């Protein structure tokens, strides 16, 4: 689809500043990794890196034995762009995730936000 823009950073930081967000669960499957926050989720089909306890872990299309579950119940505090193709989310603990996207004909990352009225709210990269 498209590369990241500062718009997604503003949206995420708006959700994080409410103080109501935390990682509710992680869904790790073949070809998808979902980070489910309390009010929205991020669906990744490209590559994701997590820094957990100072160690860097990578997810790339297939489930692995990395400790992704340690992100559950963590509180996000800030989103920022590393580049137009890498979005970083840091947590109060000091852990973080870097979510990659690519420009192409298929979705790399989908952000599913709470509906507004009758409309579903999504950002697709």
Dig out the tokens for 42 from the structure: 């991020």
Best-predicted range by mean pLDDT (38-52, 55-69, 107-121): 38-52
Q: Could you identify the residue written with the tokens 């996207």?
A: 101
Which of these, 72, 74, 103, lies nearest to 90 by C-alpha position? 74
Residue-wise pLDDT for 51-98, tens only, equals: 999 999 999 988 788 999 999 999 999 999 999 999 999 999 999 999
Secondary structure of 43-71 in HEC code, one letter for each residue: EECCEEEEEECCEEEEEECCCCCCCHHHH
Residue 115's CB: how many other CB atoms inside 10 A?
10
| Residue 30 pLDDT exceeds 90 | no
- Rounded percentage of the chain residues whose pLDDT exceeds 70: 99
Record the pTM: 0.94
Angle 42-33-22 (CA atoms, 0-180°, nearest 5)? 45
Domain ranges (residues) in the chain: 6-114
> Is residue 71 within 8 Å of 97, Cβ to Cβ?
yes
Residue-level pLDDT at 55: 97
More confident call, 55 vs 118? 55
Rounded CA gap, 48 and 106, in Å?
17
Judged against a pLDDT cut of 70, whether residue 118 lies above it is answered with yes
**R_g of the chain computed on alpha carbons:** 14
């Amino acid at each position: 689809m498209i590369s990241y823009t500062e718009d997604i950073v503003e949206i995420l930081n708006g959700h994080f500043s409410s103080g109501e967000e935390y990682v509710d669960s992680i869904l790790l499957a073949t070809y998808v990794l979902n980070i489910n926050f309390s009010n929205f989720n991020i669906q990744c089909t490209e590559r994701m890196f997590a820094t957990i306890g100072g160690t860097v872990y990578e997810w790339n299309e297939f489930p692995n034995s990395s400790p992704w579950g340690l992100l559950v119940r963590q509180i996000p505090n800030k989103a920022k762009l590393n580049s137009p193709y890498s979005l970083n989310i840091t947590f109060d603990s000091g852990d973080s995730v870097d979510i990659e996207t690519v420009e192409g004909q298929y979705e790399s990352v989908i952000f599913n936000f709470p509906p507004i009225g009758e409309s579903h709210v999504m950002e697709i990269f």
